[in-house]
């Protein structure tokens, strides 16, 4: 049993390292891709603005109480589910779910805020989903900011820098208070630029998260993707 548990821990550590490597690849690409997206859509760089999350999003954290789990009912997620919020083995009652003031809808995002901070997941549909205090649910104003763009920004170097200013590093585990999430400054370019960034990064994200290829192959594919978009940039109609 000890050996099985040790293997499980080691497997989780390897997977965690792989995810972090992928995140770094995306983060290191972010500003280059943002500038390229401006060029592709013909926008001017100085139109870039900062906005606080509290001004462009509604947000809340989950229940602070350990729920009474059921064998079936409303899916319940926590920081442990952030890599796949639909891989769920915990449920709560419909009655307990009714106490949630903010419920997820398609296009919202969850962000980890305790232990792991700043990892995001997009909500893909309108099914009911309960969440624990370790997660914040963020509802962007979609007239101002694209949900996926916000996700990529939070997970970028700029986003990490903003988060780091407000993380309680002395807490155990480390965390960011809910009110401080609203104080995070986000780069908000024109919507057409956001959509172009998302289009590019979605492709990179798919490449670097393809487990079957292995990290060296991912880097090679990512470089080829860069070259593809540089060609597109040169040939983009003005």
Q: What is the pLDDT of residues 72-116, one digit of tens each?
A: 999 999 999 999 999 999 999 999 999 999 999 999 999 999 999
Pairing mode, strands 49-52 and 185-188: antiparallel
Q: Give the model's confidence band at 199: pLDDT under 50 very low, under 70 low, under 90 confident, else very high.
A: confident
Spatial contact of 145 and 188, defined as CB atoms under 8 Å apart: yes
This prediction has a pTM of 0.74
Helix (H, G, I), strand (E, B) or coil at 171: coil
- Give the integer Cα–Cα distance in Å for 78 and 82: 7
Give yes or no for residue 146 having a pLDDT over 70.
yes
- Give the integer Cα–Cα distance in Å for 204 and 68: 40
User: Average pLDDT of the chain?
Assistant: 80
The alpha carbon dihedral of 40, 44, 49, 55 has a sign of negative
Question: Of 121, 136, 119, 150, which is closest to residue 181 (Cα–Cα)?
Answer: 136
Read off the DSSP letter of residue 140: E
């Amino acid at each position: 049993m000890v050996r099985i548990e040790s293997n499980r821990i080691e497997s989780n550590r390897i997977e965690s390292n792989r995810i972090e490597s992928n995140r770094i690849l995306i983060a290191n690409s972010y500003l280059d891709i943002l500038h390229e997206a401006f060029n592709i859509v013909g926008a001017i760089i100085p139109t870039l603005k900062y906005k606080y999350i509290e001004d462009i999003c509604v947000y809340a954290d989950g229940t602070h109480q350990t729920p009474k789990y059921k064998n079936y009912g409303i899916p319940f997620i926590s920081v442990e589910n952030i890599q796949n919020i639909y891989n769920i083995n915990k449920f709560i009652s419909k009655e307990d779910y009714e106490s949630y003031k903010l419920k997820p809808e398609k296009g919202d995002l969850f962000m980890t805020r305790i232990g792991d901070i700043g990892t995001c997941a997009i909500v893909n549909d309108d099914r009911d989903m309960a969440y624990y205090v370790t997660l914040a649910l963020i509802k962007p104003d979609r007239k101002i900011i694209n949900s996926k763009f916000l996700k990529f920004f939070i997970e970028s170097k700029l986003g990490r820098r903003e988060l780091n200013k407000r993380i309680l590093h002395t807490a155990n585990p480390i965390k960011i208070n809910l009110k401080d999430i609203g104080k995070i400054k986000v780069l908000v370019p024109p919507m057409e630029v956001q959509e172009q960034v998302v289009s590019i990064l979605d492709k990179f994200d798919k490449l670097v998260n393809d487990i079957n290829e292995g990290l060296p192959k991912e880097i090679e594919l990512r470089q080829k993707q860069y070259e593809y978009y540089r060609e597109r940039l040169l040939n983009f109609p003005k």
